[in-house]
Amino acid sequence: MPRITNLLTAGPTLSFEFSAPRDKEGNARLSRALDRLAHLHPAFMSVTYGAGGATRGPTREVVQSIVDRGVTAMPHLTCVAHTTGEIGAVVDAYEAMGVENLLALHGDLPESSTELSAGHFQRAVDLVAFVREREPWAIGVAAHPEGHPRARSRTEDLDHQAAKLRAADFGITQFFFSVEHYERFVDAMAARDCMTPVIPGVMPPTNTDRIGAMAAMNGTEFPAALRSRIDAAGDDPDARREVAIDEATRLSEALLAAGAPGIHLYTMNFSEPVRTIARNLGFGQ
Ligand code: FAD
């Protein structure tokens, strides 16, 4: 399976993020989205991993269905509340599936998982080191252009992010809505001698309530002008989708013009609006 490090050298990449479904209906929707988006020949597709006990399992099945569709897969893996033995077993299972890319994360435990012990890993960078020892894979990490929400100071946070990115092969960002956040972050990394490619994660802003809540949790600015523009479209889902497509397309174009090595689209397990955004950007023609 191609490594993302090699894919990045071939020009801007297109990639999609999915999450493991929770029920039969979600499974059918995900399957449809995978089929439709596989036709665009993305560089890779990623699958999130639930940091808390019960939601950990299904990631592997989704990764297998991506591999079965002939697309490069990148599982996410969180290390919080995991032992080295458990992580080793997950890595071995992926190795057996032919996976050669991983997004190494710390993860946040849901409140319902307080019974889980802290585990053997302190930070995502420890997981990067652990996997590096075992596998010659391309390893990515999370980047937080507007800072990690629990960071004590902006400067310390940027220092930690630079150290983590230097240890990794690439980064993928939290979603954000202004190209300046990406440009400032990449400049701050360069000022710390960190030239690791950082792929921006782009979220089409379809659902203002849901995205507003996620943005508040991540410390992401959700500009009032953007929220008003979406709300002005009223209750018509098609009109709201049009605005989301337009906003995400324009942000992605600005990011590529600013030198971003690719665009990672958050799908929420729907093929639209990301398929239209990808086409607007000239991918999958
Ligand atoms: P780390 O890099 O370990 O950072 C965690 C905290 O520790 C930060 O506050 C950081 O500033 C601080 N820190 C780092 N190093 C040091 C140090 N040396 N000293 C002191 N403090 C330090 N979560 C999931 O559960 N599942 C997923 O699949 C998932 N996918 C994601 C994908 C992307 C692209 C992104 C951006 C996030 C994703 N997350 C996911 C969320 C992520 O797990 C959380 O943001 C989590 O709080 C931080 O994870 P991290 O890997 O960035 O952690």
With the most atoms of ligand 1 within 8 angstroms of its CB, the residue from 123, 158, 189, 266 to mutate is 123
CA of 213 to the centre of ligand 1 (A): 18
Ligand 1 pocket, residue 214 CB under 6 Å = no
Torsion angle, alpha carbons of 62, 37, 142, 189, to 10: 160
Predicted pLDDT of residue 254: 98
Contacts of 264 (CB under 8 A, 6+ apart): 15, 16, 17, 46, 172, 173, 199, 200, 201, 202
| CATH class of the domain comprising 4-280 | alpha beta
Residues listed for the chain: 285
Predicted pLDDT of residue 188: 98
The residue whose C-alpha atom lies closest to atom 23 belonging to ligand 1 is 107
Of 17, 100, 146, 247, the catalytic one is 17
The residue whose C-alpha atom lies closest to atom 18 belonging to ligand 1 is 160
Quick: pLDDT tens for 228-282. Answer: 999 899 989 999 999 999 999 999 999 999 999 999 999 999 999 999 999 999 9
55 confidence band (pLDDT: 50, 70, 90) = low
Report the distance separating Cα 112 and Cα 138, nearest Å. Answer: 33
The SS3 call for residue 139 is: strand
- What's the whole-number average pLDDT of the chain? 94
219 residue type, one letter: G
127 confidence band (pLDDT: 50, 70, 90) = very high
Element housing 108 (H / E) = none
Report the distance separating Cα 285 and Cα 195, nearest Å. Answer: 30
Query: pLDDT > 90: what percent of the chain?
Result: 87
The arithmetic mean of pLDDT across residues 149-158, rounded, is: 95
φ, ψ at 262 (rounded to 5°): 170, 180
Quick: pLDDT tens for 241-252. Answer: 999 999 999 999
CA of 123 to the centre of ligand 1 (A): 7
Ligand 1 pocket, residue 124 CB under 6 Å = yes
Does this model's pTM top 0.95? My answer is yes
> Is the model's pLDDT at 205 over the cut of 90?
yes
- Residue spans of the domains in the chain: they are 4-280
165: left (phi over 0), alpha (psi -120 to 50) or beta: alpha
54 confidence band (pLDDT: 50, 70, 90) = low
Task: Calculate helix-pair angle for 59-68, 84-97, nearest 10 degrees.
Answer: 20
The residue whose C-alpha atom lies closest to atom 32 belonging to ligand 1 is 142
- Clarify whether 17 is annotated catalytic: yes
Predicted pLDDT of residue 22: 87
Predicted pLDDT of residue 53: 60
Paired residues of 141 in beta bridges? 104, 171
Other C-beta atoms lying within 10 Å of the C-beta of residue 156: 12
Ligand 1 pocket, residue 48 CB under 6 Å = yes
167 confidence band (pLDDT: 50, 70, 90) = very high
Ligand 1 pocket, residue 51 CB under 6 Å = yes
Report the distance separating Cα 237 and Cα 273, nearest Å. Answer: 11
Per the CB < 8 A criterion, the answer to whether 201 and 175 are in contact is yes
Q: What is the 3-state secondary structure (H, E, C) of 228-242?
A: HHHHCCCCCHHHHHH
Per the CB < 8 A criterion, the answer to whether 265 and 15 are in contact is yes
- What tokens appear for 224 in the block? 């009032």
Other C-beta atoms lying within 10 Å of the C-beta of residue 64: 16
Predicted pLDDT of residue 44: 98
The residue whose C-alpha atom lies closest to atom 24 belonging to ligand 1 is 107
> Is the model's pLDDT at 207 over the cut of 90?
no
Predicted pLDDT of residue 284: 85
Predicted pLDDT of residue 108: 86
- What tokens appear for 187 in the block? 């400049």
